[in-house]
Amino acid sequence: MILKAKTVKESIIETNDIVHPSDVNAYGFVFGGHLVSLMDKTACMAAFRHCESKVTTVSVDGIHFLRPAPVGTMLTIHASVNRAFRTSMEIGLRVTAWLPGKPNEDICRAYMTFVAIDENGKPKEVPAIIPETEEDKRRYNNAEIRRAARLELREKLLSK
């Protein structure tokens, strides 16, 4: 079955949330786990939009918490497919924060890998991704480097 390739911009999802008192640690900043949960949901939507199929998270890579987000911070989670492989997709994520009087600041970045699954829960093929802009192409190429590193690490760990 040949699937029609899609552009990166067709997978873009942007969600918003606000940091509530129940979302923070003892220092008043958003829990990393809460932020990752929001990111996972947004990445899931980007993956679903790309392949129009059920998807599941298979890995989370390179989470970088750049700045804390206190109570009252409005969060915007940006997600899009960086690259599609046979049954998996790497989703790039960026979280920005907005507080009164402050411009949008990056507070977190990450990469998540999703696999498309069929009605029996088995991996299924996904459409290829078409990188159009120079930024799309950079992210597309870097996704292959991260994938190769993940596969090499897995091979090393399994051979021990």
Beta strands, E only, 66-101 = 74-84, 88-99
Q: Which amino acid is at 108?
A: C
pTM of the model: 0.93
81-107 burial code (b ≥16 CB/10 A, e <16): bbbbbebbbbbbbbbbbbeeeeeeeeb
Domains of the chain by range and CATH?
6-158 (3.10.129.10)
**pLDDT at 152 (0 to 100):** 92
Mean pLDDT of the chain: 95
Where the chain has pLDDT below 50, the residues are none
Quote the pLDDT of residue 43. 98
Q: What is the DSSP letter of 105?
A: E
- pLDDT at site 1: 62
